[in-house]
Amino acid sequence: MSEQIYQDALARVREIGENAGVNAEVIESLMHPMRTMIASLPVRMDDGSTEYFTAYRCRYNNALGPTKGGIRYHPEVNQPEVQALALWMTIKCAVVGLPYGGGKGGITVDPKKLSRMELERLSRSYVRQMADIISPDRDIPAPDVYTNERIMGWMMDEYEHITRQKAPGVITGKPISLGGSLGRDDATGRGAYMCILELEKKHGWNPSDIKVAVQGFGNGGYHAARLLHERGYKIVAISDSRGGIHSDSGFDVPSIYKEKQRSRQVKAVYCTQSVCEQVEHNTISNEQLLELDVDILIPAALDGVIGKHNVDKIKANYIVEVANGPVLSDVDAILHDKEIHVVPDVLANAGGVTVSYFEWVQNRSGYAWDLDTVQERLGKIMSKSFNEVWDLAKSENRSMRNAAYTLAFRRIGEAVGAHGTRDYFNSSDA
């Protein structure tokens, strides 16, 4: 699947790029990752043995600034997937106008099988191997699937040991006590929520009439569901890696979250007394969740979950991509024809990297913002970016993804031109 994901990502860039009116050389440059580093990480396990884990960091394109993007810990992470994710970061940062290029990293590991100490040694080992390419001015990691602020804290600490200086700007999504930003914890879900608020204004929705299904109940999915629930949207389905639950009357998201914290799985919520008393519900699989008759479907877990195999069964009016790459490119046109509108990942989940940018700015200036400032500035960027994409899509009858990519290509193209094309293509390892 992962090799297919990268080829799919390239095909989409080529297809949209060909009619975006951008210099063909710029589109060609996006076909080639600048650099992908692969490393073996030896980790001393608690039983005294040593295990080796394969790790990646891709700096895809730096036309707009230092490369930026999260680090994923997952048993299926591999080079093509990391490259696809880094390409999407390049486009995402350009869509929301951040002064960053795109990067991404990952380790092929099932973190659920490691102890806390093993996880810490693994994370520190990653930084030792990647220390030559990450830095506050070069490549700035952040959290992604199955990584979190604690891991970012260990990584920053290791980097500071290596460089013998304080360097909070080398990584974002850190604990607040180490220079993290207020508001980074829920920024990805909040950014998606802000996109939905824009849709609400355009369509005059009454939130309590709108049914939402959310696949994935982690950092992105949970906060999106929580904020929508607080506004009165009906969250009718929720899932995690082990399956999901469904109820037409909608769930009280905070109590599902509480049960998930206790049991470690959403499905275990099924028929727990506190939830059963509230609402009748049944268990569903992750595949069934995608096919529910809802107004908004929020895939917030992994890539490639909507493709030719199930596109005919998708009934949602809107797909808001909190996950990176949940829809494969070969169904873009089918969804557009069926008038199933997609708010693409490169816009819908850009709240996370936007607040990461705020964190980096705060670290560099040494001045911490309050939560209201973070959220207000996030709101401005999300609303402006959403409307730029929406207006272009409407005025030229494009899908929102096509419009978002077109805007990104124009911005990247302008920067490439300003660098002086020959130099940019010959040496761009800053």
Residues in the site for ligand AKG, rule: CB under 6 A? 68-70, 89, 92, 142, 144, 172-173, 324, 349, 352-353, 356
Q: At what angle do helices 187-203 and 219-231 cross, to 10 degrees?
A: 40
One-letter amino acid at 207 equals P
Query: Is 104 among the catalytic positions?
Result: yes
Please tell me whether residue 215 binds ligand NAI under the rule CB under 6 A: yes
**Could you give phi then psi for residue 101, rounded to 5 degrees?**
-90, -165
Sheet bearing 50-61, strands edge to edge: 35-44, 50-61, 101-108, 67-74, 139-143
Q: Binder to ligand NAI among 144, 185, 186, 259 (CB under 6 A)? A: 144
Site string for ligand NAI, 20-49 (x = CB under 6 A): ------------------------------
> Which residues does 114 contact at the CB level (< 8 Å), separation at least 6?
122
User: At closest approach, how far in Å is the CB of 275 from ligand NAI?
Assistant: 17
Sort strands 50-61 and 101-108 into parallel, antiparallel or unpaired. Answer: antiparallel
Residue 416 touches which member of ligand NAI, ligand AKG, none, C-beta under 5-8 Å by kind: none
Instruction: Answer yes or no whether residue 328 interacts with ligand NAI by CB under 6 A.
Output: no
E strand residue ranges, 293-397: 296-299, 318-320, 341-343
Determine contact, residues 56/66, Cβ cutoff 8 Å.
no
Q: Could you say which of 68, 92, 104, 260 is catalytic?
A: 104
Binding-site partner at residue 332 among ligand NAI, ligand AKG, none, CB < 5 to 8 Å by type: none
The least CB distance from residue 102 to ligand NAI, in Å, is 12
For residue 65, the partner it binds in ligand NAI, ligand AKG, none, with Cβ less than 5 to 8 A by kind, is none
User: Which of ligand AKG, ligand NAI, none sits in contact with 323, Cβ below 5 to 8 A by type?
Assistant: ligand NAI
Helix (H), strand (E) at residue 229: helix 219-231
Dist CA 235 CA 282 (whole Å): 14
* Nearest-angstrom CA–CA distance, 61 and 408: 13
- Bridge partners, residue 54, by sequence: 40
Amino acid at 279: V
With respect to ligand NAI, which residue has the nearer C-beta, 349 or 399? 349
Task: Tell me how far, at minimum, the Cβ of 177 lies from ligand NAI, in Å.
Answer: 19
Residue written as token pair 């002064």: 99
Min separation Cβ 382 and ligand NAI, Å: 13
CB 296 within 8 A of CB 210: yes
Contact pattern for ligand NAI over residues 171 through 190, marking x by CB under 6 A: -----------------x--
Q: What residues are annotated to the active site?
A: 104
Chain residues that interact with ligand NAI, rule: CB under 6 A: 143-146, 188, 215-221, 239-241, 286, 300-302, 322-324, 349, 352
